[in-house]
Structure 1
Amino acid sequence: MGARRTEKMEEVKTAIEKDGGQAVHRKTDVTVREEVIDLVKFAETTFGPVDIFVHNVGVFYYSLMKNLHLDEWDKLVDVNCKGFLNGIAAILDSMVKRKRGHILIISSDSGKKSDPGCSVYTGSKFFVEGVVRGLRREVSTHNVRVTSIQPGEVDTEIFTYSKTDPEAEELYGSFPPNFKILEPIDVAKAVVYAVSQPDHVAVNELLIQPKDAPIIY
């Protein structure tokens, strides 16, 4: 595991070990390319070549473009676009050379639609989806699979720091919404489904949404 908050990873590590598994973690900021590369090297040194790489990076801000939250725009690009590319860069060469691997990108249903108040975030997810579609075609001949998992609203801490523009909430509604949204385990089960398919099966995309919020194009 790699993330910025070691205390959270330690909680997950404890849970995995309690269930009979093995886990290690390393503090990693996806916006720092060298740290992501070091994370992959750490995993390879500890367990061997990486066969499954789950790339779950992203920040979200709910604001109107006319209000010019420029620092937030920069953060969205740094994490959601550049941080995403750093992960691909860290793992791709090894998988292509070994002709084995599965990259899973936790993207968003915002990569399929655009909502007011989320324009820059949406743009970052359209970027992710565009890269993933091209990457998938490039590496399929190397026996590397690429899956984009596209959740709708998930009950995570992302909502605690995303509300920076009251005008956006007044115009378009608040996050999280007032209906049952996805749990993190729902997304985790999608990952398990994708990686457990036979070698001849490619799960290219999985769109997962709250039942009460079907996608509107």
Structure 2
Amino acid sequence: MNNKEQVIVITGASSGIGEATAHKLAGHGFKVVLTARRMEKLKEIKDTITSNGGEALAIAADVTKVEELHEVVRKTKSKFGKVTGWINNAGLMPLSFVEKLKTDEWNTMVDVNIKGVLNGIEAVLPSLIDNHGGNIINISSSAAHRFFPGGAVYCATKSAVMMLSEGLRQELAPKYGINVTSIEPGATSTELMDTITDEDILEKLSSMKEMTMLEAEDIAEAIYYTLSQPKRVNVNNLYILPSEQQ
């Protein structure tokens, strides 16, 4: 499919990987739909894209509220006539040691990192089936492959996203031509660590500041690669680490 024919919805588009992906795709002719809770930030990104000649739509939505994601699909189709891809990027990483019982943070991670992905799939899947094709890209993490201290719940959520992606691929790609990809980044310089409240974890992570981490643009490049493949090609998993990460 020609880039100009693609209409891609990006959740968590107000910063980090989502924002970088929006700029990357729009710069290559994709129509992008930006969604997150921070409408003011979304509007700034949209305005930058349109001022550079791209096409973008900004819609405020919370991924934990499935009806809001259905509304994103409705507004996208009203504006662009269709939706051809969905990037489940919204996520949280409030790491903590289990013994501290930060159960509110556990539940929030489950709601955003797992249920938010499922809500996105529920909202977009009927449209992709009607299209007889499209892409679902789920942002998992290297944490789906390896446990690290304080990551028990976070790693579990990202492992769920990775396995969900494979299940979706097996069910949807052969029958409907819907390609499904799990993107699994290692340490990336984004706002993700801003949600950590466990001081012991923050102390342990301080050593990571000495490592050259991935940039959001590196993940955006991987997403662009995935969406640029012919329909016959399904990129199952992209596991991306900083060169210095062990």
Normalising by structure 1, what TM-score? 0.93
Match of 2:106 in 1: 73
The one-letter code of the counterpart of 1:206 is L
1 CA distance for matches of 2:61 and 2:87?
A: 14
How far does the alpha carbon of each residue in 1:58-95 deviate from its partner, in whole angstroms, 9 at most, with x for none?
10012100111111011011111111110011011211
| Structure 2 counterpart SS, 1:174 | helix
Cα contact 1:30–1:86 (8 A) shared by 2: yes
2:77 maps to 1:29: no
Cα contact 2:140–2:159 (8 A) shared by 1: no
Cα contact 1:17–1:23 (8 A) shared by 2: yes
Q: How far does residue 118 in structure 1 lie from its aligned partner after superposition?
A: 0.8
| Structure 1 counterpart SS, 2:71 | helix
Match of 2:155 in 1: 122
1 CA distance for matches of 2:205 and 2:233?
A: 40
Match of 1:166 in 2: 199
2 CA distance for matches of 1:169 and 1:59?
A: 15
2:182 maps to 1:148: yes
* Aligned residues between the structures: 212
* Structure 2 unaligned spans of 5+: 1-33
The match for 1:198 among 224, 227, 230 is: 230
Cα contact 1:159–1:175 (8 A) shared by 2: no
Q: How far does residue 213 in structure 1 lie from its aligned partner after superposition?
A: 0.5
The match for 1:39 among 72, 76, 87 is: 72
2:129 maps to 1:96: yes
2 CA distance for matches of 1:176 and 1:81?
A: 26
1 CA distance for matches of 2:112 and 2:206?
A: 23
Tell me the C-alpha RMSD between the 2 structures. 1.4
Q: How far does residue 17 in structure 1 lie from its aligned partner after superposition?
A: 0.9
2 CA distance for matches of 1:102 and 1:186?
A: 20
Match of 1:179 in 2: 211
2 CA distance for matches of 1:85 and 1:3?
A: 16
**CA distance change for structure 1 residues 186 and 99 in 2, over 3 Å: closer, same or farther?**
same
Match of 1:64 in 2: 97
1 CA distance for matches of 2:207 and 2:79?
A: 40
- Shift >2 Å, 4+ stretches: 167-170, 172-177
Normalising by structure 2, what TM-score? 0.82
* Structure 1 unaligned spans of 5+: none
Match of 2:31 in 1: none
Question: Higher strand share goes to which structure?
Answer: 2
Q: How far does residue 175 in structure 1 lie from its aligned partner after superposition?
A: 7.2
**CA distance change for structure 1 residues 58 and 175 in 2, over 3 Å: closer, same or farther?**
farther
The one-letter code of the counterpart of 2:40 is E
How far does the alpha carbon of each residue in 1:21-71 deviate from its partner, in whole angstroms, 9 at most, with x for none?
111111100001100111111111100111121111110012100111111
